[in-house]
Amino acid sequence: MRWNVPNILTMIRLLAAPGVAVMFLYFHRPWADWFALTLFILAAVTDWFDGYLARLWKQESRFGAAMDPIADKAMVVIALVVITGYSGMNPWLILPVTVILFREVFVSGLRESLGAEAGKLKVTGLAKWKTTAQMVAIAVLFLGTGLEYVEGIARRGMTASQYAEAVTAGLADPVRSCGTRGCSSLATWLGLALIWIAAGLTLVTGWDYFRKAMPYLRDRTDG
């Protein structure tokens, strides 16, 4: 393997994937949420740069081609597991997350079974949009979990409406209020909408990959 810039960026993203979960082991919330969000965003940005630089500098390699999708999947899977745990196992989140995790395991298994033939199934533009949608949704959901924790402390048991009234009366910090609804609620609903869109794209691209893989999965017959 050549230690060029694109490959280094890929390795950084691969190492950053478990780092998202580690943030919650060594830091108190909400700092853990903010550090995880920052690390995830920085790692997601490298996903664009390593591919762009590899093509620009003609440094595309087998190592990069192999590790890039692994790094993407590791980032998505680990981040979704963390978010699902800290979101109180929200059923509206569990379903699209299940779809995404199933697809990633299914496609990874297909690639492994295809062996050398897997290289013939090129990544489509829609698959890249799928990855982008997943990463944007995860970033917004991390923002929502962090804000929810902050607001929970600030409200001291008050509902979002009661908290808004307390802000109006000057009894609570207005920075943590987004009108009659909590900022975390807005971020969470936006994140949920995005993760459902990402799950839809995930299903479509998964089916497309399976359809293209079928000719290579059929048993060969003699004669």
Query: For residue 140, how many other CB atoms are within 10 A of its CB?
Result: 20
Average pLDDT over residues 27-55: 86
Query: For residue 117, how many other CB atoms are within 10 A of its CB?
Result: 13
pLDDT exceeds cutoff 70 at 209: yes
H helical segments located in 120-176: 125-155, 160-168
Could you write out the DSSP letters of every residue in 147-210? HHHHHHHHHTT--HHHHHHHHHTTSS-GGGEETTEEHHHHHHHHHHHHHHHHHHHHHHHHHHHH
Give pLDDT, residue 175: 52
pLDDT exceeds cutoff 60 at 197: yes
Domains within the chain, CATH numbers bracketed? 5-216 (1.20.120)
Alpha-carbon distance of 94 to 10, in angstroms, equals 29
CA dihedral 83, 88, 90, 94 (to 10 degrees): 50
Could you write out the DSSP letters of every residue in 108-136? HHHHHHHGGGGGGSPPPHHHHHHHHHHHH
Alpha-carbon distance of 80 to 47, in angstroms, equals 18
Give pLDDT, residue 27: 92
Mean pLDDT (the chain, rounded): 82
Listed ranges 33-37, 50-54, 178-182; the one with the highest mean pLDDT: 33-37
Give pLDDT, residue 178: 58
Higher pLDDT, 65 or 36: 36
CB 40 within 8 Å of CB 66: no
pLDDT-derived band at 195, boundaries 50, 70, 90:
very high
Lowest mean pLDDT among 83-87, 109-113, 172-176: 172-176
Record the tokens describing residue 150, joined without a space.
């902050």
**SS3 assignment, position 57:** coil
